[in-house]
A = this chain, B = another copy of it.
Amino acid sequence: MVKLRDVAYKAGVSTATVSRVLNNDTSVSIETRKKVEKVIHSLNYIPSRTAQRLRHQQKKSNIIGIVIPDIQNPFYIDVLQGIEDTAYDNEYAVLASNFSQSEKREKLYLDILKSESVDGLIAAPLDEHDETIIELVKRGLPIVCVDRGLNDIDVDAVVVDNFKGAYDATKLLIDLGHRHIGFISGLIRIPTSRQRLDGYKQALQDFGIDYDETLVKFSDSKRDSGQQLTKELLQMKNPPTALFTGNNLLTLGAFESIHQLNLNIPNDIAIVGFDDMYWANSLNPPLTAVSQPGYEIGRRAAEMLFQRIENNDRPTVHVVLKTKLVIRRSCGS
């Protein structure tokens, strides 16, 4: 690695002068400046940001870290895109990491992120008690939570009204005449999964339908289990006439399963899924879905993070965004 000293040596000046050239200090003669710049170029020299940061210690790195549960999930892609666009507008780069819902992987990443001196972090905590993230908040690292908040500590968060979203979806199916509605839940450890389950239950209750626990399946939020559990539901002696899936991967798994069994959506089984996708229209049939504003979540979170980086003392903010029920053919209209 070529360093400032090398440049100074080759240019026959002191390190101070090179530094002055780099920082556009006025008190360098034009000839010296030109000479130094030439050497900088010829050696392909790039200043070390680490050393710069150490020297005057509060120079920003202009990097923010993102810790995302699952990059295969289009919803998080939207969030990421929102963050990324906003970051770009603010001259930040994004250190994104996908920890595939794995606690160990999350730890590794956060360890590395810690030592990378990111200016801030946008994270979806594993659950409301995620210790690794709580520790980082305590240390004073600017953090904004997305999708899920933290219980034991005051922290910025951008979330969605999952309860309402699930309630609306279930109510739609009830309004369409269904009384036997299956639900495939995501990882129950995750707060959003619980809120969606609660919304489902509440809707049933409000319309006088008894909660039937055989109709509710708990998954690891992944597509394969969506497929498996849908199959199990459909092969019951008294299968549900409608299905509400807890996230988009589960929805895709359910579609797969239903097509394999040669059943018709919505005639044999109606479907509403949590999470819309931009190609939902091209599915067979087009999917009725609870749409989360993923891009908006990302954008808001990034904005809040940049504010907090500027001023870490401002009071914490919780933003709750609304979901929207997008009705297409899979629910039978």
Contact = CB atoms under 8 A, between A and B. Distances in A.
Contacts of A93: 95, 97, 108-109, 112-113
Given A48-B115, A61-B116, A285-B284, A278 B54 contact: no
A71 interface: yes
Given A91-B108, A97-B93, A115 B53 contact: yes
Contacts of A57: 1, 48, 50
Contacts of A223: 278
Given A91-B108, A259-B282, A49 B98 contact: no
A50 B118 CA distance: 10
Interface string A125-151: 000000000010011000000000000
B98 A95 contact: no
A148 to B, nearest CB: 22
Contacts of A108: 88, 91, 93
A189 to B, nearest CB: 21
Interface stretch (A77-85, A160-168, A201-209): A77-85
Q: Give the bracket for the number of chain A residues in contact with chain B.
A: 35 or more
A28 interface: no
A253 to B, nearest CB: 9
A46 interface: yes
A223 B93 CA distance: 25
A320 interface: no
A76 to B, nearest CB: 10
B53 A117 contact: yes
B285 A115 contact: no
A114 interface: yes
A214 interface: no
Interface in A86-121: 88, 91, 93-98, 105, 108-109, 112-117
Contact of A72 (B61, B81, B112, B259): B81
A283 B80 CA distance: 25
A307 interface: no
A77 B72 contact: yes
A256 interface: yes
Contacts of A283: 279, 282-284
A71 B139 CA distance: 32
A323 B281 CA distance: 27
A306 interface: no
A139 B46 contact: yes
B112 A62 contact: yes
A94 B113 CA distance: 10
Interface of A: 1, 44, 46-54, 57, 61-63, 71-72, 77, 80-81, 84, 88, 91, 93-98, 105, 108-109, 112-117, 135, 138-139, 223, 252, 255-256, 259, 278-279, 281-286
22 contacts: A1-B57, A44-B138, A48-B115, A49-B114, A49-B115, A49-B117, A50-B53, A50-B54, A50-B57, A51-B54, A71-B77, A88-B105, A93-B112, A94-B96, A94-B97, A95-B96, A96-B96, A259-B281, A259-B286, A282-B283, A283-B284, A284-B286
